[in-house]
Amino acid sequence: MDKDDWSFGESWRVEPSDPTWTGTQTAIKEQRVEEWDDETLVLGIETSCDETSASVVRGGRDILSNVIASQTELHGEYGGIVPEVAARAHVEALTPAIREALVRADATFWDLDAVAVTLGPGLIGSLLVGVAEAKAIASVLDIPFVGVNHLEAHIYSNFLGNYSAKWPAVVLVISGGHTMLVHARGHGDYEILGGTLDDAAGEAFDKVARFLGLDYPGGPEIDRLSLLGNPDAVRFPRSMVGEPGFDVSYSGLKTSVTNYVRRLEYEGNEINVADVAASFQQAVVDIEVAKTLAAVDHTMVDTLFLCGGVAANSGLRTGLEKACLDRSITLHVPPIELCTDNAAMVASCGTALLRRGIYTSLDAAPDPNLPLK
């Protein structure tokens, strides 16, 4: 549907705050999406992986609340995410999270202008929980429902509370499920320049951490331990760095770490886990900084967005900050709590979609492999 064909004129919602409201009437909200002002309130819902999150965002940029119920303790004993456990935990946590998000935002359901939810990619059982609840809320309130791509939502974490973030930009999306470099020319105008050929960076962090006997999730553990270790202690390979293109690969690096540790064990030598963690992290940082700078050069943009769970990594943040400073590139890095999965970024992305007249049918099904387009 063309965006001009759709307006809120068709949409009805109850207004219990209206003194003439008797409990049976409805009122028309006539404001068109294109004219949404900074007061627009969107409820975001995120359940694609192991974080249950609900958030109320005003005008696509101001976070009124961002409730995140993490399942890390539940999955910790298994050393990784168990999809069935994740889906069941979302069922329990989502409704209280939404209630809490509304309370913290000092809002009611009737203040909401739309509901945005992650439609994919992610774990199908987990996605279904959020999508079903978002559809129920949207249909009861008769407000627009918008399904959001999780990767696009990560990109929008750069716009939350940050009015200086502007397109076009190169975006490094680096998380537990994905690692890719994107040339983002504007809202919805994305070109994927390259990505991982095997593990996502976060996945490599988690697997190496598990091998080193650290807790789940491994990324923050390696990050913490790296501060105590020497990043130059072991020179692990920086695969594909000298090669053209923007793809990366982590399987060789992972194997090098395990081979190194096993060799020391075999030789009866003591292993300095902090040095191994710091050296591994430094290899990841060097690979990502090199490929990201190459992408910036290639696209000739002067803005870089960093996002995704691994964007919380202190080494990566420092490495990119330094590299960008040296080259006069404007770097935007979301605060740590917006790097990992959260519903505020979903609400922000959903608001941008709705402003362009894009919304989702209530028939839409979640897609575990939803591509970024």
Contact positions vs ligand KG4 (CB under 6 A): 49, 175-177, 202, 205-206, 217-220, 223, 308-310, 312-313, 340-341
| Shortest reach from residue 223's CB to ligand KG4, in Å | 4
Nearer to ligand KG4 (CB atom), residue 177 or residue 194: 177
Q: Is 15 helix (H, G, I), strand (E, B) or coil?
A: coil
CB neighbours of residue 18 within 10 Å = 10
Nearer to ligand KG4, 218 or 350 (CB): 218
- Radius of gyration in angstroms for the set of CA atoms belonging to the chain, rounded to a whole number: 22
Residue 363 · residue 10 · CB < 8 Å = no
Q: CB nearer to ligand KG4: give 220 or 366.
A: 220
Q: Which CB sits closer to ligand KG4, 26 or 318? A: 318
Interface with Zn ion, residue 341, by CB under 5 A? yes
What is the dihedral angle through the alpha carbons of 93, 96, 102, 104, rounded to the nearest 10 degrees? -90
- Would you say 152 or 341 has its CB closer to Zn ion? 341
The binder of 152, among ligand KG4, Zn ion, none, by C-beta within 5 to 8 A per type, is none
With CB cut-offs between 5 and 8 Å by kind, which of ligand KG4, Zn ion, none does residue 130 bind?
none
Confirm or reject binding of residue 360 to Zn ion (CB under 5 A): no
Please give the structure tokens belonging to residue 88.
Answer: 């069941």
181: number of Cβ within 10 Å: 27
Of these partners, ligand KG4, Zn ion, none, which one is at the site of residue 121 (CB under 5 to 8 Å by kind)?
none
* Residue 14 Cβ vs ligand KG4, minimum distance, rounded to whole Å: 36
Q: How far apart are CA 246 and CA 272, in angstroms?
A: 33
Q: Which is nearer to ligand KG4, 175 or 360 (CB)?
A: 175
**Per residue in 182-208, is it b (16+ CB within 10 Å) or e — as a string?**
bbbeebeebebbbbbebbbbbbbbbbb
Q: Nearer to ligand KG4 by C-beta: 72 or 259?
A: 72
Under the criterion CB under 5 A, does residue 51 sit at the interface with Zn ion?
A: no
Environment class of 333 (CB within 10 Å of its CB; exposed 0-12, middle 13-18, buried 19+) = buried
CB of 53 to ligand KG4, least distance (A): 10
Nearest distance in Å: CB 176, ligand KG4: 3
CB count within 10 Å of CB 160 equals 22
Strands, E, within the chain: which ranges? 12-13, 27-28, 41-46, 51-58, 62-70, 114-120, 145-149, 169-174, 179-186, 189-195, 303-307, 330-332
Place of tokens 């696009």: 152
Residue 334 binds which entry of ligand KG4, Zn ion, none, CB below 5-8 Å type-dependent: none
Closest approach, Cβ 225 to ligand KG4, in A, equals 11
Q: Is 142 left (phi over 0), alpha (psi -120 to 50) or beta?
A: left
Q: Which does 206 bind (CB under 5 to 8 A by kind): Zn ion, ligand KG4, none?
A: ligand KG4
As measured in angstroms, the least distance from the Cβ of 125 to ligand KG4 is: 16
Single-letter residue type at 167: W
Our CB check for Zn ion shows the closer of 275 and 341 to be 341
Residues from 145 through 204 that contact Zn ion (CB under 5 A): 175
Q: How far apart are CA 176 and CA 160, in angstroms?
A: 21
Alpha helix (H) residue ranges in 52-162: 72-76, 83-104, 124-141, 150-156
71 interface partner picked from ligand KG4, Zn ion, none, CB below 5 to 8 A per type: none
Nearer to Zn ion, 55 or 175 (CB): 175
Residue 310 touches which of Zn ion, ligand KG4, none (CB < 5 to 8 A by kind)? ligand KG4
320 near 292, Cβ under 8 Å? yes
Interaction partner, residue 223 (Zn ion, ligand KG4, none; CB < 5-8 Å by kind): ligand KG4
Question: Smallest gap, in angstroms, from Cβ of residue 112 to ligand KG4?
Answer: 25
Task: List residues near Zn ion by CB under 5 A.
Answer: 175, 341
